[in-house]
């Protein structure tokens, strides 16, 4: 019966931008937590800049006082979580190419797309690789086992540009206004700091 029950549970819908520090931190624990409760994670790579416009928000780093605190909080939250983190020199960056590769991979294999997501997030937030730079993104694709020319062809392809645009529109329609943004059976949870509430939601249902 356990297996049957597990099969009926919807995946956790998970939205982030490759340039979101809190998204990266949450990406390091959400899959294990989901699996403990018989769920998978359905990733959505989106562009926060687009989402912010719809929600009339501005990027975190554009706020003069809040941004100073935020960098301190990114680093402290990473230490609190026990997750490797090094504040990138260039932040935030444009992540449309990394996101288009994600959607290109996802069409053929969602698990491979999830691995690319982790690969890209760790490259940016641990190794300091600027995944907004096309040369560095090509190198990253190669290290991942992709053909760099094929990856670049994908992120330059109007089809995958349109796919990412659709993903942004879908996120806005789903109410997403930041990252990480999780939806569990229709209930939204925003932020790496909603971890304990998500744990309770998964183990007890709505509370």
- Can you give the binding site for a copy of itself, defined by CB under 8 A? 54-57, 63-66, 68-69, 72-73, 76-77, 79-80, 175, 177-178, 188, 190-191, 193-194, 196-197, 200, 207
Shorter beta-carbon distance to a copy of itself: residue 76 or 159: 76
Shorter beta-carbon distance to a copy of itself: residue 104 or 189: 189
Shorter beta-carbon distance to a copy of itself: residue 139 or 193: 193
Shorter beta-carbon distance to a copy of itself: residue 163 or 201: 201
Residue 56 CB, nearest approach to a copy of itself (Å) = 6
Residue 91 CB, nearest approach to a copy of itself (Å) = 19
Residue 82 CB, nearest approach to a copy of itself (Å) = 10
* Burial profile 142-180: b = 16 or more Cβ within 10 angstroms, e = fewer: eebebebeebbebbeeeebbebbeebbeebbeeebbbbb
The answer to whether 60 touches 21, Cβ cutoff 8 Å, is no
Neighbours of 56 (CB within 10 A): 7
CA atoms within 13 A on the CB side of 147: 4
Max Cα distance, the chain (Å):
54
Q: What share of the chain is helix, strand, coil (3-state, %, to 5)?
A: 60, 10, 30
Shorter beta-carbon distance to a copy of itself: residue 170 or 193: 193
Spatial separation of the C-alpha atoms in residues 117 and 45, rounded to whole Å: 8
Residue 187 CB, nearest approach to a copy of itself (Å) = 8
Spatial separation of the C-alpha atoms in residues 72 and 193, rounded to whole Å: 15
Residue 33 CB, nearest approach to a copy of itself (Å) = 16
Residue 62 CB, nearest approach to a copy of itself (Å) = 8
Q: Please tell me whether residue 188 adopts helix, strand or coil conformation.
A: strand
Shorter beta-carbon distance to a copy of itself: residue 128 or 175: 175
């Amino acid at each position: 019966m356990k297996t049957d029950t597990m099969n009926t549970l919807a995946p956790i819908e998970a939205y982030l931008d490759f340039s979101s520090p809190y998204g990266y931190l949450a990406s390091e624990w959400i899959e294990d937590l989901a699996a403990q409760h018989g769920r998978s994670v359905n990733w959505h790579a989106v562009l926060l800049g687009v989402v912010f416009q719809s929600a009339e928000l501005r990027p975190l780093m554009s706020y003069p006082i809040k941004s100073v605190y935020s960098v301190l909080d990114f680093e402290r939250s990473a230490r609190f979580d026990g997750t490797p983190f090094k504040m990138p020199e260039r932040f935030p960056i444009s992540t449309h190419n990394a996101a288009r590769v994600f959607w290109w991979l996802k069409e053929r294999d969602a698990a491979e797309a999830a691995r690319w997501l982790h690969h890209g997030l760790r490259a940016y937030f641990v190794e300091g690789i600027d995944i907004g730079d096309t040369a560095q993104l090509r190198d990253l694709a190669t290290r991942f086992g992709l053909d760099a020319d094929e990856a670049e062809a994908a992120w330059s392809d109007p089809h995958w540009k349109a796919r990412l645009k659709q993903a942004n529109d879908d996120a806005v329609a789903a109410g997403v206004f930041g990252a990480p943004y999780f939806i569990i059976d229709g209930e939204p949870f925003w932020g790496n700091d909603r971890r304990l509430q998500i744990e309770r939601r998964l183990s007890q249902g709505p509370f």
